[in-house]
Structure 1
Amino acid sequence: MRRAFYISAISAAIFLSSFHVSVADDYLKGVTAFEQGDHAVALSYWLPMAESGDAKAQYSLGKLYETGGQDGVVQYKEAIRWYLQAAEQGIAAAQNNLGRLFAQGLGADVDREKAVHYWQLASQSKHAMAQYNLGLAYFRGEGIEQNIEQSVFWFHQSANNGVGGAQYALGEVYRLGLSVPKDMGEARKWYKKSAETGNERAALKVIEVETVLAKEKREADAQAADALVEEVNTVAEKVEAEAKGSSVADKEIVTEQNQNVSPATSQVVALSIEMHPKPIKNPRRFAGVGTLFVSKPKPNPRR
């Protein structure tokens, strides 16, 4: 009995494994047919899978109906039907596309609040395009209260994931200083990234911003040169003023000293200088030898 149970379990596992391989293979065959433009073949693979609850097939069916359908005719209502089923199973791409269809009123009435709801779900799953769309909704105040700070946040999330539109939007944000300090260098950075994705408007903005930055640099250099000249002139004037002040102080000191000397004292000093006797050279008639002085010898009386 036990052996028979094990054999049945193993057989079931093999069957399920083969079934999953077959399903995955059918899905990829549908992808190949869709990319080749053979929507009828793609539909033949995806429809049974979608009806059995396969989320990827449901999303792919939604994409097929949105872009051409079985007969090459766009069917937005069918697209919404299958996107809704995929979105309920957490397929972020389906949630983003649902948001776009509701925002544009394709296959349903315009419902921007519902669009924002699906973009929020997809953004939480880090879907880059949904993050950009959510940023635009916050920026425009469509379907949600306008909030530039939140808009810039979601633009950053999307731009870091390589969405050229979000990168261009950030260039505008920094160029105009919307909820962030105006920064032409940062604006140029994001414009360049957007231009690298093929955005021609961004390429033109790069040229415009670089022209502004070059002009600002010239003006800054001129201001710096003027400031340097002014500083040098200020220092020179200070040195000259200090020199003049020192000269005046010296003159005042001399004048003050002269004023403190009385006329009588001046006459006494003058007389003492004039009446001082002239010194007598060697009054005792010493003959000098070197630095020593000895008496001059007397003449020999006896000869």
Structure 2
Amino acid sequence: DHFRPIDKRKGETLIANAMNNGSEIAKGFCTFRGWGGLEKNSTDAFDIFMNVASSEENPNSFAMIGYMFKIGLGPKKCKDMEEAIKWLKKAVSCNHSWAQCMMAYCIQEGEGIKKDETTALNLYLESGKLGYSKAMYNLGELYHYGSQFIKVNKKKALYWYTLAAQQGHDRARFKVDNGEFEGRKKKKENDGKGKHRKAKRGSQIYYGEQ
């Protein structure tokens, strides 16, 4: 992400190369995903991330630890939102865009932390301004449909959907291409780059998964 389309294959190669060059955090990612010839093992990956976090101020390790607690892949293999929030906060304090997006979703839904849509919106904005496409999509959703505390704003919705779509976010592509924003699109687009391919429908908020 970070204002660039995702290339998963290239990302996997770069992380595997970093591991081969001695990066412990990269080794953690490869162990978590089963990349670089390693066997997929979430327990070993968690231990690696914890070792990295204890030896250096590494926001990637903080975010991964928070994520693993959030989805039930911590030491006890059960969801632990108290620990998840603690580690995500550490990553957010380092301006980690993925962690900002995950934390925003937790706050938006009141998952492990007090629900506060305004705070969630501001965190999504921070993440989106750093170029994280899933935060951009969530901003599009919030402005598109509105809520008790957030007013509908189709102009802002299209703006954030378009940014996410430019980075290959399929749901954002569908939102941009389905005709609802056609009048606004004609004013802002026509850049000669062609149409995005359409994606499947999906109105559920999509937060920052790795």
Amino acid at match of 1:164: S
1:109, CA displacement in angstroms?
A: 2.0
Match of 1:72 in 2: 38
**Normalization by structure 1: what TM-score?**
0.51
1:80, CA displacement in angstroms?
A: 0.9
List per-residue Cα deviations over 1:184-232 (Å, max 9, x = no partner): 1111111100100101211221234314869xxxxxxxxxxxxxxxxxx
CA contact (8 A) 2:15 2:30 kept: no
2:26 to 57, 60, 63: 60
Identify unmatched segments of 5+ residues in structure 1: 1-30, 47-56, 215-303
1:32, CA displacement in angstroms?
A: 7.0
Match of 1:269 in 2: none
Amino acid at match of 1:35: N
Higher helix share: 1
Q: 1:32 to 1:156 in 2, by over 3 A?
A: closer
Identify unmatched segments of 5+ residues in structure 2: 1-12, 186-210
1:71, CA displacement in angstroms?
A: 6.0
1:103 paired to 2:99 = no
Q: Secondary structure at the match of 1:209?
A: coil
Amino acid at match of 1:120: K
List per-residue Cα deviations over 1:147-193 (Å, max 9, x = no partner): 11111011000000111110010011111123222111111111100
Match of 1:34 in 2: 16
Match of 1:295 in 2: none
1:90 paired to 2:57 = yes
2:91 to 122, 125, 135: 122
* Distance (Å, rounded) in 1 between the aligned partners of 2:36 and 2:146: 48
Question: How many aligned residue pairs are there?
Answer: 168
* Distance (Å, rounded) in 1 between the aligned partners of 2:37 and 2:139: 41
Larger radius of gyration: 1
**Normalization by structure 2: what TM-score?**
0.71
Match of 1:232 in 2: none
1:92, CA displacement in angstroms?
A: 0.0
CA contact (8 A) 1:168 1:191 kept: yes
1:70, CA displacement in angstroms?
A: 8.2
Match of 2:180 in 1: 209
1:94-173 paired onto structure 2 within 5 Å? 94-107=61-74, 108-173=77-142
Q: 1:183 to 1:32 in 2, by over 3 A?
A: closer
Q: 1:101 to 1:213 in 2, by over 3 A?
A: same
CA contact (8 A) 2:15 2:26 kept: no
